Amino acid sequence: MRIERSAGVIVFLQPKTRTPAASFPDDPKRRYLLLDYGRYWDYPKGHVEAGEDDLTAALRELKEEAGIADVDPIDGFREEMTYFFRDKKKGLIKKTVVFFLAAAQSDEITVSHEHEAGEFVPYDDALERLTYPYAKKLLKAAQEFLTNRR
């Protein structure tokens, strides 16, 4: 069995504040970045390269996939998930993905060739648009973390 590790970031935009250190009340204007992978919507993520730590990989993938480099990572949020899948060429793969949370400073997105589209959408719309249960679970965790943060 092959083992892979990836890292991603759940990016949000909250127009009322540009300071991630401030509390984030439950604001209906908070929007989350989702990318259209063609068959499903998900977060920016990708393989951790040799010599990279998880956060560095997540931020690199964000820049590569969405053209976003100006974000403020939020301390205290780190969610990890592991799943198995079968690749036609590589066989059974055990994949672990770690996700971080970051505040964007702008809603400008430049999607890579890997994606059909990308946009910042309100929480309820993002929850509906996300395809996989794990992605919905991550969004709920991020929303709860930001809502309860003091």
Domain boundaries, the chain: 2-19+27-148
Q: Which residues pair with 97 in a beta bridge?
A: 6, 81
Predicted local confidence at residue 40, as pLDDT: 94
Band (pLDDT 50/70/90 cuts) for residue 150 is: low
Q: Which residues pair with 39 in a beta bridge?
A: none
> Is the pLDDT assigned to residue 18 strictly greater than 60?
no
The tens digit of pLDDT for each residue in 81-99 reads: 998 989 999 999 999 999 9
CB 57 within 8 A of CB 23: no
The tens digit of pLDDT for each residue in 124-147 reads: 999 999 999 999 999 999 999 999
Band (pLDDT 50/70/90 cuts) for residue 29 is: confident
Q: How far apart are CA 56 and CA 103, in angstroms?
A: 15
Which residue intervals of the chain are DSSP H helices?
Answer: 54-66, 123-129, 133-148
Of 91, 82, 15, 4, the closest CA to residue 48 belongs to 4
The residues, any chain, with a CB within 8 Å of residue 64's CB and separated by 6 or more, are: 46, 112
pTM assigned to the model: 0.87
Q: How far apart are CA 9 and CA 4, in angstroms?
A: 17
Band (pLDDT 50/70/90 cuts) for residue 149 is: confident
The tens digit of pLDDT for each residue in 43-95 reads: 999 999 999 999 999 999 999 999 999 999 999 999 999 989 899 999 999 99
> Is the pLDDT assigned to residue 15 strictly greater than 90?
no
Q: How far apart are CA 121 and CA 24, in angstroms?
A: 17
Which listed CATH number (3.30.365.10, 3.90.79.10, 3.40.50.300, 3.40.50.10470) goes with 2-19+27-148?
3.90.79.10
